[in-house]
Amino acid sequence: AEPLSGVVDRFGGVTVTLGPEDAADVGSLEVRLRASLATWRGAGRCAAWVRVPRQAYSALPTVLAQGFDWHHAKAASQAGPENPEGYALLARWLAEDEPSRIPAYANTQVGVGGLVLNREDSVLLIKERVSPSAKIHGLWKLPGGLADRGEDLGTAAAREVLEETGVHATAEGVVCIHHRHGYAHGVSDLYFTVKMRAQSVELAAQASEVMEATWMPLEEAQRSPEVMPFNRRILMLASKPVLVPHSGLHGSSIAPRPFFVYASAASLDSATGKPSGCDGA
């Protein structure tokens, strides 16, 4: 039987993407997959990956029966333009005399909150329609939420603030970061509070998620029992230096496009010198 065609990666693995034609004849797929596993082992491949798009979902039992296990799955809305219908990715370690080095799928979500100040030094706060816990329901908090796929921190914070409150704001830097574990579906949460400057002040609370939005004098918010205790602690950092975003390639030899380095320095080049070449990572 002819082995399946795959793409070999730099780490010694091979990835196959199945199509509707493979799912239409699972008997033939089983024979070809067995032949492929033998060929890949003979070639010294250490791992095999099988990507199963939605249109080939009926091939999943066949792949699982050949010793593959789930790695992750993505819905169409999260899979990106190269996978418009979503997919499941399965993996099998082939080097039987070595422990598996197949990396676990990403287990951390990125959240952003906006610490938005206006010209009067009042801070933007919201009351959620449904809070994560009854203990904090009805208390004021900073607007925020999860970053979207491929979204930078400042962009994500500005989007969340606008969606939840109707306020336009620009990011100045990261005030603080908190890292918590044990969230929905077992993921960890890496949350960035971004200091922002309001470009508008008129409020338009998002009816589906927000009961109310308000501007509260910063000093009042820092001590008010009507503000979530954890958020009050973050508000006490409002006057402290922020981590400033610096966009560029920063000497990286692997980054496909400019990215942000967050640092306390006003000028990264002044603090570190300009990169002499693309020898960083």
Are residues 155 and 221 both part of a single domain?
Answer: yes
Q: pTM (2 decimals)?
A: 0.86
On whether both 132 and 225 belong to a single domain, the answer is yes
Q: What is the CATH number of the domain that holds 50?
A: 3.40.630.30
Percent of the chain whose pLDDT exceeds 70: 98
Give residue 58's pLDDT: 97
Whether residue 1 is contained in a domain is answered as no
pLDDT of residue 81: 75
Indicate whether 171 and 199 sit together in one domain: yes
Task: Looking at the structure, tell me whether residues 174 and 229 fall in a common domain.
Answer: yes
Residue 53 lies in a domain: yes
Q: Is the pLDDT of residue 82 over 80?
A: no
**Residue 76: both structure tokens together:** 């169409």
pLDDT tens sequence across 177-224: 999 999 888 899 999 999 999 999 999 999 999 999 999 999 999 999
pLDDT value for 43: 95
User: For the chain, how many structural domains are there in total?
Assistant: 3
Q: With respect to residue 98, please indicate whether it lies within any of the assigned structural domains.
A: no
In the numeric block, which tokens belong to residue 152? 């930078």
Residue 281 pLDDT > 80, yes or no? no
The answer to whether residue 81 is domain-embedded is yes
**What is the average pLDDT across 212-241?**
97
The answer to whether residues 117 and 205 belong to one domain is yes
| Half-sphere exposure in the Cβ direction for 191 (13 Å, CA) | 20
Task: Give the CATH number, domain containing residue 228.
Answer: 3.90.79.10
**Domain end: 66, 93, 120, which one?**
93
Q: Say if 100 falls within a structural domain.
A: no
pLDDT computed for residue 132 by the predictor: 83
Query: What is the reported pLDDT for 111?
Result: 97
pLDDT in tens, 133-148: 888 999 999 999 999 9
* 54 CB burial (10 A radius; 0-12, 13-18, 19+): middle
In a domain, 83, yes or no: yes
For residues 137 and 88, state if they share a domain: no
Q: Are 246 and 263 in contact (CB under 8 A)?
A: yes
pLDDT at residue 46, rounded to an integer: 96
Q: Does 275 score more than 80 pLDDT? A: no
Query: Per-residue pLDDT for 279 more than 70?
Result: no
Total residue length of the chain:
281
Whether 270 is in a domain gets the answer yes
What are the pLDDT digits (tens) for 242-258?
999 999 999 998 999 99
Helix (H) or strand (E) holding 209: none
Residues 203 and 131 in one domain: yes
Residues 253, 229 within the same domain: no
From start to end of the chain, where are the E strands? 7-8, 13-17, 47-53, 69-74, 87-93, 108-117, 122-128, 144-146, 169-180, 188-198, 210-217, 244-248, 259-263
pLDDT in the model for residue 276: 66
Domain end call among 70, 93, 116: 93
Looking at 68, 93, 118, which one is the last position of a domain? 93
Tell me, yes or no, whether 159 and 277 share the same domain: no
**pLDDT tens figures, 21-31:** 999 999 999 99
pLDDT computed for residue 277 by the predictor: 57
Average pLDDT, the chain: 94
- Please check whether residues 221 and 247 belong to one and the same domain: no
Q: How confident is the model over 44-69, as pLDDT tens digits?
A: 999 999 999 999 999 999 999 999 99
- Domain with 273 in it: 243-281
Q: Do residue 48 and residue 83 come from a single domain?
A: yes
Q: Is the pLDDT of residue 84 over 90?
A: no
Which residues, 6+ apart, have CB-to-CB distance to 3 below 8 Å? 32, 35, 36, 39, 40
Please give the pLDDT value at position 144. 97
> Is there a domain that residue 145 lies in?
yes
Same domain assignment for residues 170 and 74: no
